[in-house]
Amino acid sequence: MSFCPTSNLFLGSGLFDTDAARAHGIRVGLGTDVGAGTSFSMLRTLDEAYKVAQMGGHRLSPLSAFYLATLGSARSLYLDDRIGNFAAGKEADFVVLDLAATPLLERRMAHAGSLSERLFALMILGDDRCVLATHIMGKLAYARDVGDTQ
């Protein structure tokens, strides 16, 4: 099952409870929605997923959020044997992120003490300006020009 928070919010279709779904053995991933979503950015979608969880009285930790966006999504599609993390032998589709893409993000990262704090800052403050490069099947498909952000 794909949890698309921007679509749920746009349509007013309710607040998806990822914890309840997972407790029932449902494989849940995080996704964007072409039909009713408001962004294709996974970073923006992570931000909205956090807000949806908060509004529903649940906590979505940064580690859980990034799991939903990566291996959780692969598992929800039954493709976790081929994609979802950097395990040897898996297909390598990934983005390289600039953790100092904007002055605010750079400042927040300078004060982040743990991986969880860094991921939280990235999911709340990150956007398309963070994408330095995109690799598909291990090959560079996109590289941002230096100085293209701020």
**Amino acid, single-letter form, for residue 2:** S
Q: pTM of the prediction?
A: 0.90
Low-confidence ranges of the chain (pLDDT < 70): 146-150
Q: CA distances (Å), 125 to each of 13, 94, 136, in order? A: 26, 20, 25
pLDDT digits (tens, 9 = 90+) for 93-116: 999 999 999 999 999 999 999 999
Q: Quote the pLDDT of residue 149.
A: 52
Q: Quote the pLDDT of residue 146.
A: 67
Q: Quote the pLDDT of residue 86.
A: 95
Q: Quote the pLDDT of residue 139.
A: 96
Q: Quote the pLDDT of residue 19.
A: 87
Q: Quote the pLDDT of residue 135.
A: 97
Three-state SS annotation for the chain:
CEECHHHHHHHCCCCCCHHHHHHCCCCCEECCCCCCCCCCCHHHHHHHHHHHHHHCCCCCCHHHHHHHHCHHHHHHCCCCCCCCCCCCCCCCCEEEECCCCCHHHHHHHHCCCCHHHHHHHHHHHCCHHHEEEEEECCEEEEECCCCCCC
Q: Quote the pLDDT of residue 147.
A: 59
Q: Quote the pLDDT of residue 14.
A: 85
